[in-house]
Structure 1
Amino acid sequence: MRKLHGILTHLRPFMTSSLHRKADAKQTANIVVAERFKAVTILSINRPDKQNALNESLLHELASQLTQFEEDNSASVAVINGIGGNFSAGYDVDELKQRSEHDINSVQNSLFFPFQRKTSKPMLCSISGLCKSIGFEIALMCDMRYAEEKAFFGFSNRQLGIPLLNDGPKRLAKLIGLSKATEFLVMDRQISSQEAVDLGIVNAVVQDGTALGSAIKTAVFLSSLPQSSLQHDLSVLHGSQFDKDKWPSILNDFKSNISLNEDSLKSARILKLNNMPEWELKEIEYEKNYAKNKRKQNDANKI
């Protein structure tokens, strides 16, 4: 623990809230600001004037930066955060509407996050303010999440008719169970950071203005550990939660079951899933069998 306390002085530039972080001229030009502290890569979503709403160019830039992080042998841990007081308000709906008027087929490109994890390097997330829709999905992709007291979570896609295309529902179901995840999706629930930690969505709730510093402090500690064993154990954990080999087929299922419609786009109902993918049907069946076997086990223990 002394080692952790010893690095606090070096972390002070990152300990302030993202609300108070001021982008310099270089940062202003970058929609994703990449910084480095020791073996920790810090990636900051930088569209504060849009509450860090995500568009196609930003998603591709963030994916590119994460790929660089994975390929950099000197980088051990990544921290993702948002500048300006919000992690991300989700989709840039205004841009989606503009695209729908000119090129319907390009709309779905703004809804996919083109990144697949190829390594098991730890990825942490610092969350302040809004964390919604595709921004929430990106947060769920990370291994650990630190949220400030006034952070707010939700998919916020139901009224817009925008499906979640980045494996967010599956990840959420693995965290909180199929029943609660279903309620999240169909009721479009919005929750506070306290409810998020109670459900197990975030690892800790910290004071406003300290989430980024908390995440970086943990990241520095993780980077000081032997990396081969850490990444091996994370790989085992990831394998037990998500079948990475099936990801390409899952993505194809999503794409093959999406239809674009002029009228729905004009009314802000951007996309529609025609059929439930086969993988999701299997997931539901798995959950049912798991619950059934769990009940049998509990009944046997009572005898």
Structure 2
Amino acid sequence: MTSRAIGRILFSNIQNKATLAKLIQNVRLYSVPAENFEFIKVSKTGANNNVGIIQLNRPKALNALCNGLMTEVSKALDHLEADKSVGAIIITGSEKAFAAGADIKEMKDNKYSDCISGNFLEHWSRVAQTYKPVIAAVNGYALGGGCELAMMCDIIYAGDSAKFGQPEILIGTIPGAGGTQRLTRSVGKSKAMEIVLTGCQVPAVEAEKMGLVSKVFPADKLLDETVKLAEKIASNSQLTNAMAKEAVNVAYETTLREGLRFEKRMFHGTFGTKDQKEGMAAFAEKRKPNFTNE
């Protein structure tokens, strides 16, 4: 694959050739054998080729989330979860937009009966159900469904020009894919109310301060830094990663008493794995562990 072809995979909106060349040098990309996708691009990256990348790819619509795109994301996650070499997954967009919202033209004529009978947006939660760690790399707009998609991920890294928001109130509706729920748990009631009831956009730096975003980087460094994080996570036992992820999600969704009980049981459960034995043996022997995900 040529460097120009590689550049088109993730950096089609970057005009600075020097910046593009540097990013290509730092991020090795491999195509993922899968069906042809219309609205996304899927690849693998990292020194050990163990990080999956899903890039939203509807540039003319600023990556607006249509039903077809979200169906493709679900299929891509199926592929990457089944790939034993992949230890972490990144979801990203373009430098201009992670996803500027849901596709309003697609949903504007929906009726209440259609939404109920078809359980509208139900399959969008596939991202949150992924057992492998998922990181959102957000540049540009992450509004409405885009913000909700980012919040379905386990960690959010943002470029310094990123903007988050839930502007549904401005078009006569409310968030429907977790915006009122995940946002409140992330930033608290007052901030969530302000964002949801005004539809205002939140800059990346402010989003970091309120706890919505883990870290903020210059836009042209974002993907590189996200890949570094994903590689670090992917170097752990995939089995233990999944157990730790589930324990944190229980803390996010239940009481402290129930969370502590669940954590203790998951901790006990690690002692039934080969990776726990290998990890502790490697620590005692002062060497790097060789995890087999068993």
In structure 2, the partner of 1:172 is 183
1:143 aligns with 2:151: no
From the superposition, tell whether residues 122 and 87 of structure 1 become closer, same or farther in structure 2 (CA, over 3 Å).
same
In structure 1, the partner of 2:30 is none
Alpha-carbon separation, structure 2, partners of 1:217 and 1:158: 37
1:35 aligns with 2:29: no
**What is the CA-CA distance between 1:13 and the residue it aligns to?**
5.9
Residue 76 of structure 1 is aligned with which of 87, 94, 99? 87
Identity %: 26
In structure 2, the partner of 1:105 is 114
Aligned partner of 1:105: which letter? D
Aligned partner of 1:222: which letter? I
In structure 2, the partner of 1:20 is 14
The structure with higher relative contact order (CA 8 Å, sep 6+) is 1
**What is the CA-CA distance between 1:234 and the residue it aligns to?**
1.7
Where 2:219 maps in the other structure, the secondary structure is coil
Where 1:131 maps in the other structure, the secondary structure is strand
Residue 98 of structure 2 is aligned with which of 87, 90, 104? 87
Alpha-carbon separation, structure 1, partners of 2:173 and 2:76: 26
Q: Structure 1 regions of 5+ residues with no counterpart?
A: 1-11, 244-303
From the superposition, tell whether residues 227 and 86 of structure 1 become closer, same or farther in structure 2 (CA, over 3 Å).
same
Q: CA RMSD in A?
A: 3.2
**What is the CA-CA distance between 1:67 and the residue it aligns to?**
2.9
Alpha-carbon separation, structure 2, partners of 1:202 and 1:89: 17
Where 2:246 maps in the other structure, the secondary structure is helix
From the superposition, tell whether residues 88 and 28 of structure 1 become closer, same or farther in structure 2 (CA, over 3 Å).
farther
Alpha-carbon separation, structure 2, partners of 1:210 and 1:81: 13
Q: Structure 2 regions of 5+ residues with no counterpart?
A: 1-5, 21-33, 255-294
From the superposition, tell whether residues 20 and 127 of structure 1 become closer, same or farther in structure 2 (CA, over 3 Å).
same
CA contact (8 A) 2:65 2:101 kept: yes
From the superposition, tell whether residues 122 and 28 of structure 1 become closer, same or farther in structure 2 (CA, over 3 Å).
closer
**What is the CA-CA distance between 1:81 and the residue it aligns to?**
0.3
From the superposition, tell whether residues 161 and 27 of structure 1 become closer, same or farther in structure 2 (CA, over 3 Å).
farther
Where 2:220 maps in the other structure, the secondary structure is coil
Write out aligned runs for 1:42-57 (5 A): 42-57=53-68
CA contact (8 A) 2:55 2:91 kept: yes
**What is the CA-CA distance between 1:155 and the residue it aligns to?**
0.8
Alpha-carbon separation, structure 1, partners of 2:220 and 2:187: 27
Q: How many residues align?
A: 228
Using structure 2 for the length normalisation, give the TM-score: 0.68
From the superposition, tell whether residues 208 and 67 of structure 1 become closer, same or farther in structure 2 (CA, over 3 Å).
same
Using structure 1 for the length normalisation, give the TM-score: 0.66
Aligned partner of 1:169: which letter? T
